[in-house]
């Protein structure tokens, strides 16, 4: 059976072997006191392991390979970084291995001690053609294990988004208002136009929002102009007034702008058209040109509905979703679903990130509470998990499922998943 070295790391880390009767290739009794710290960077695979070999107890590193020859193929025999390796763990093909200082390393042949069910279960997962590798086994997995996994995935997703916020801060002199604007813009773009909105955020100086606060036309001209939507030769009165204002602003501030072709309109609801979302963004910033402090002061996630209620769009958008294309009259109220989308993907992330950045658990706990208080998102991924018995009870759970699918299931990273571990341990 073919498998990768990562499986051996997994077997070693979680002791999926017969640990009571381990012997080195030379016949010395081995007792694994501590498996060590899994090292995913350069150097030995497990650091600071504690291994008893014969009567001596050693503290050092463990290197794991599929075959004995890999030690030499990877040139560890000439690398001083491997001089502290106290045990060489292989699957097969024993050959004597020496450190750079010439001393020989004890070898453990792991295949002698691993139950065949581990390999059978692993093969079934990795070769699965189902929607997710464990689709067959998932309904039988312990409920408490699933609950703990969802909690871990939700936090892991927030941590990942915090990494993105840190990059925004690093690029803009630790300006939280700018970082908040970038995250908000990305959220306005949903999935299809997220990157275009992020580019727009980079091209807008948010200090101009404060400067233009008393003039909504300038804010709208700034945003639509920078997005590249004010370059047509003809248009209705509203369009031409924005175009004229933007040309004046561009002459003063020497803007670089986007190309309108960077935005996507196909196969989406009109309310998600980038022109309509930019109009919403404008009315938001006309009210709160510095909104970051407002967000972190907010107490409950349910308060955001009232928070957005006063924001009114220009009347033009009551019968338009795009410039110069009239539609039937429609509501321009902020939909509860879109507000919840912003709380989940922007505001909770901002509050969590601020808590991490400032080392203040109050904000971290608040962000987690917001997600727990909102109803779960509905999409194809959460619905498929529901069919398999893993149902989201709130937005924290639905975010966890999205993260689980994208980072683990889709990439078949079963060895890093507690559900994968539980499946591999079956019938051992």
pLDDT digits (tens, 9 = 90+) for 141-168: 999 999 999 999 999 999 999 999 999 9
Looking at 101-115, 281-295, 331-345, which range is the least confident one?
281-295
> What tokens does 426 get?
């079956």
Whether residue 184 sits in one domain with residue 95:
no
3-state class (DSSP) for residue 131: coil
| Side-chain half-sphere exposure of 175, counting CA atoms within 13 A | 13
- Which of 72, 95, 114 represents a domain boundary (last residue)? 114
In a domain, residue 214? The reply is yes
pLDDT of residue 20: 86
Whether residue 181 sits in one domain with residue 104:
no
Whether 282 contacts 227, CB under 8 Å: no
In a domain, residue 208? The reply is yes
In a domain, residue 392? The reply is no
Whether residue 183 sits in one domain with residue 108:
no
- Tokens 């369009």 correspond to what residue? 239
298 contacts: CB under 8 Å, gap ≥ 6: 304, 307, 347
pLDDT of residue 374: 97
Q: Where are the alpha helices (DSSP H) in 14-142?
A: 70-73, 116-126
pLDDT tops 80 at residue 178: yes
Give whole-number Cα distances, 230 to 193, 262, 418, in Å: 18, 14, 52
pLDDT digits (tens, 9 = 90+) for 210-243: 899 889 999 999 999 999 999 998 999 999 999 9
Looking at 80-94, 144-158, 298-312, which range is the least confident one?
298-312
In a domain, residue 259? The reply is yes
pLDDT of residue 66: 96
3-state class (DSSP) for residue 49: strand
Whether residue 176 sits in one domain with residue 110:
no
Whether residue 189 sits in one domain with residue 95:
no
- Which of 94, 114, 134 represents a domain boundary (last residue)? 114
Quote the domain boundaries for residue 39: 5-114
Query: How confident is the model over 36-48, as a mean pLDDT?
Result: 95
pLDDT band (50, 70, 90) for residue 69:
very high
pLDDT digits (tens, 9 = 90+) for 195-205: 999 999 999 99
| CA separation for the pair 93, 264 (Å, rounded) | 56
Longest dimension (CA), the chain: 90
- CA-angle at 393, arms to 391 and 396, nearest 5°: 105
pLDDT of residue 427: 65
| Residue 211 burial (CB count, 10 A) | 14
Whether residue 176 sits in one domain with residue 88:
no
Q: Which of 13, 19, 16, 14 is nearest to 31 (CA)?
A: 19
pLDDT of residue 426: 81
pLDDT tops 60 at residue 1: no
In a domain, residue 210? The reply is yes
| CA separation for the pair 32, 389 (Å, rounded) | 38
In a domain, residue 136? The reply is no
Q: What is the DSSP string of 303-372?
A: GHHHHHTT----GGGGSEEETTEE------SPPHHHHHHHIIIIIHHHHHHHHHHHT-HHHHHHHHHHHH
Whether residue 195 sits in one domain with residue 337:
yes
pLDDT digits (tens, 9 = 90+) for 376-402: 999 999 999 999 999 999 999 999 999
pLDDT of residue 428: 53
Whether residue 332 sits in one domain with residue 210:
yes
pLDDT of residue 309: 84
Whether residue 368 sits in one domain with residue 288:
yes
> What tokens does 327 get?
């539609």
The string over 121-159, giving b where at least 16 C-beta atoms fall within 10 Å of a residue's C-beta and e elsewhere, is: bbeebbebeeebbbbebbeebeeeebeebbeebbbbbbe
3-state class (DSSP) for residue 165: helix
Q: Which of 271, 340, 255, 332 is nearest to 305 (CA)?
A: 340
pLDDT band (50, 70, 90) for residue 289:
confident
pLDDT of residue 214: 83
Whether residue 186 sits in one domain with residue 72:
no
> In this prediction, what percent of the chain has a pLDDT beyond 70?
99
Tell me what the pLDDT averaged over the chain comes to: 95
pLDDT of residue 311: 86
Give whole-number Cα distances, 337 to 271, 291, 322, 344, in Å: 12, 20, 21, 11
Whether residue 348 sits in one domain with residue 261:
yes
In a domain, residue 406? The reply is no
Whether residue 179 sits in one domain with residue 110:
no
- Which of 373, 389, 422 represents a domain boundary (last residue)? 373
Number of residues that make up the chain: 428
pLDDT tops 80 at residue 133: yes
In a domain, residue 382? The reply is no
Q: Which of 351, 311, 331 is nearest to 219 (CA)?
A: 311
pLDDT of residue 425: 86
Count up the domains in the chain and report the number.
Answer: 2
Query: How confident is the model over 36-63, as a mean pLDDT?
Result: 96
């Amino acid at each position: 059976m073919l498998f990768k070295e990562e499986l051996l790391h997994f077997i070693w880390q979680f002791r999926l072997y017969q640990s009571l009767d381990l012997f080195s290739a030379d016949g010395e009794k081995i007792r694994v006191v501590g498996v060590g710290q899994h090292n995913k960077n350069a150097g030995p695979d497990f650091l600071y392991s504690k291994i008893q070999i014969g009567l001596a107890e050693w503290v050092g590193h463990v290197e794991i390979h599929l075959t004995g020859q890999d030690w030499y193929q990877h040139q560890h025999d000439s690398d001083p970084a491997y001089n502290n390796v106290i045990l060489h763990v292989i699957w097969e093909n024993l050959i004597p291995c020496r450190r750079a200082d010439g001393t020989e390393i004890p070898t453990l042949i792991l295949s002698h001690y691993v139950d065949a069910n581990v390999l059978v279960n692993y093969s079934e997962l990795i070769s699965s053609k189902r929607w997710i590798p464990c689709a067959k086994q998932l309904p039988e997995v312990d409920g408490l294990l699933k609950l703990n996994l969802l909690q871990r995935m939700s936090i892991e997703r927030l941590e990942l988004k915090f990494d993105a916020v840190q990059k925004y801060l690093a690029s803009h002199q630790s300006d939280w208002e700018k970082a908040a604007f970038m995250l908000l813009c990305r959220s306005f773009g949903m999935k299809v136009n997220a990157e275009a909105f992020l580019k727009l955020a980079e091209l807008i100086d948010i200090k101009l929002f404060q400067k233009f606060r008393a003039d909504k036309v300038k804010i709208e001209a700034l945003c639509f102009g920078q997005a590249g939507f004010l370059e047509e030769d003809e248009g209705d009165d509203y369009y031409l007034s924005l175009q004229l204002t933007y040309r004046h602003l561009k002459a003063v501030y020497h803007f670089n702008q986007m190309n309108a072709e960077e935005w996507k309109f196909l196969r989406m609801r009109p309310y998600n058209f980038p022109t309509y979302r930019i109009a919403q963004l404008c009315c938001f910033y006309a009210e709160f040109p510095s909104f970051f402090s407002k967000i972190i002061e907010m107490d409950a996630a349910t308060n955001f509905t009232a928070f957005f209620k006063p924001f009114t769009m220009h009347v033009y958008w009551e019968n338009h979703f795009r410039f110069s294309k009239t539609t039937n009259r429609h509501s321009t109220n902020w939909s509860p679903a879109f507000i919840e989308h912003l709380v989940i993907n922007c505001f909770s992330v901002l509050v969590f990130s601020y808590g991490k950045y400032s080392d203040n658990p109050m904000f971290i706990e608040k962000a987690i509470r917001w997600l727990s208080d909102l109803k779960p998102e509905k999409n194809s991924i959460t619905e498929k998990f529901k069919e398999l018995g893993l149902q989201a009870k709130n937005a924290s759970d639905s975010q966890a499922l999205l993260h689980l699918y994208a980072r683990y299931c889709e990439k078949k990273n079963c060895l890093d998943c507690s559900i994968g571990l539980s499946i591999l341990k079956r019938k051992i």
